[in-house]
Structure 1
Amino acid sequence: MSDIEPTVVDRPEQPYAFIRRSVRMDAFGLIADRLGELIGWLDGHGVPFAGAPFFRFNTVDMAAESEVEAGIPIAALPAPEGDIQIGTLPAGRYATVLHTGHPDTLFGVITAFRAWADREGLVWDMKEIDGAERWGCRLESYLTDPRVEPDMNKWQIELSFRLADTPGTSAPAA
């Protein structure tokens, strides 16, 4: 996976709608399957999308449950309802990389992405607590519409991991 080409970008804060759930990685479908529900709810409430659907990993624990959100950037702020909540993705510097391929191949991409950041001297907005990674903002955005391209091997997925604030700026709350 040495053929990745990450970049660092500045992003403004972004409102989003989401459904949150704690899941084991081998049961990721429990949260992934909720994206359709979220899309339908937003459409039904006339809320315009402001970007591609994503998964936000608040915690990552490969041996236990991870806290994950199925989310969509939005251009209007509806009232939350039931499991559907409204939040804001934090502004900041993000390392990003674009992957074309099946979502099941992301583990190797993430490993190479993290190795790249280490070589570049970049520090993630992440702390390890009791064996789990707690992320300031770690996104996996699905740029390909599966209704247009059903072959998951051709999907484009963007990883965007927030970088720690530079010295002299305030860090986000953990």
Structure 2
Amino acid sequence: MEPTCSFEERDAQPTLSIHTSAAVQDLPGIFGEAFGAVMQYLGQLGEHPASMPYAAYRNMDLQDLDVEIGFPVARPLPGEGRIQPGEIPGGQWATLLHVGPYDQIHAGWEALTAAIAATGRTIAGPAYEFYLDGPETPPERIRTLLGHPVV
């Protein structure tokens, strides 16, 4: 079954995240460390993530990705050191649910980008991946919600 693109209005969501640059092949280790650091900090604050972790990609240079890695939180929280407060923007979004291994996610991005263009909309922000399943999930069943703010 082909993945389907959805267009929806989303509320802004406060976040805590780590911003870094990395080559795509280094992301698994960087993600694990960043997610762990943010979770530890949330624990120090007596807080919990509001939903699943995410990454926001501000460019697509696979050897030097500009990426924000973190968690949505229920309310704005203070940052500390490299863990900074931020926000996933509200407004109109295009999303697509990719099911399968991360090394096949490019097909989902191609489908989402084509659907955005086909409707005459324009991408208006970073590429977001919302990781709906944990690392124990078999690769063929991993669900990743892909999304872009659009206008």
Same fold (TM over 0.5): yes
The aligned residue for residue 11 of structure 2 is: 12
The aligned residue for residue 144 of structure 1 is: 133
- What SS does structure 2 have at the residue aligned with 1:87? strand
Q: 1-side partners of 2:122 and 2:11: how far apart?
A: 19
CA drift at 1:160 = 1.2
| Displacement over 6 Å in runs of 4+ | none
Identical columns (%): 27
CA drift at 1:99 = 1.2
Is the 1:20–1:31 contact (alpha carbons within 8 Å) kept by the matching residues of 2? Answer: no
User: Could you list the runs of 5+ residues in structure 1 that have no partner in the other structure?
Assistant: 126-135, 165-174
- What SS does structure 1 have at the residue aligned with 2:109? helix
Q: 2-side partners of 1:152 and 1:71: how far apart?
A: 21
Is the 1:12–1:92 contact (alpha carbons within 8 Å) kept by the matching residues of 2? Answer: yes
- What SS does structure 2 have at the residue aligned with 1:72? strand
CA drift at 1:30 = 4.8
CA drift at 1:77 = 3.1
Q: Larger % of helix: which?
A: 2
- What SS does structure 1 have at the residue aligned with 2:108? helix
The aligned residue for residue 103 of structure 2 is: 104
CA drift at 1:145 = 2.8
The aligned residue for residue 44 of structure 2 is: 44
- What SS does structure 1 have at the residue aligned with 2:76? coil
Is the 2:17–2:69 contact (alpha carbons within 8 Å) kept by the matching residues of 1? Answer: yes
User: Could you list the runs of 5+ residues in structure 2 that have no partner in the other structure?
Assistant: none
Letter in 2 for 1:104: D
Letter in 2 for 1:23: A
Letter in 2 for 1:53: P
Is the 2:108–2:146 contact (alpha carbons within 8 Å) kept by the matching residues of 1? Answer: no
Deviations 1:1-50 (A, max 9, x none): x8110100111111000001011223223531221221222123211221
**TM score, norm. by length of structure 2:** 0.90
- What SS does structure 1 have at the residue aligned with 2:56? strand
Q: How many residues align?
A: 150
The aligned residue for residue 167 of structure 1 is: none
Letter in 1 for 2:146: L
The aligned residue for residue 60 of structure 1 is: 60
**TM score, norm. by length of structure 1:** 0.79
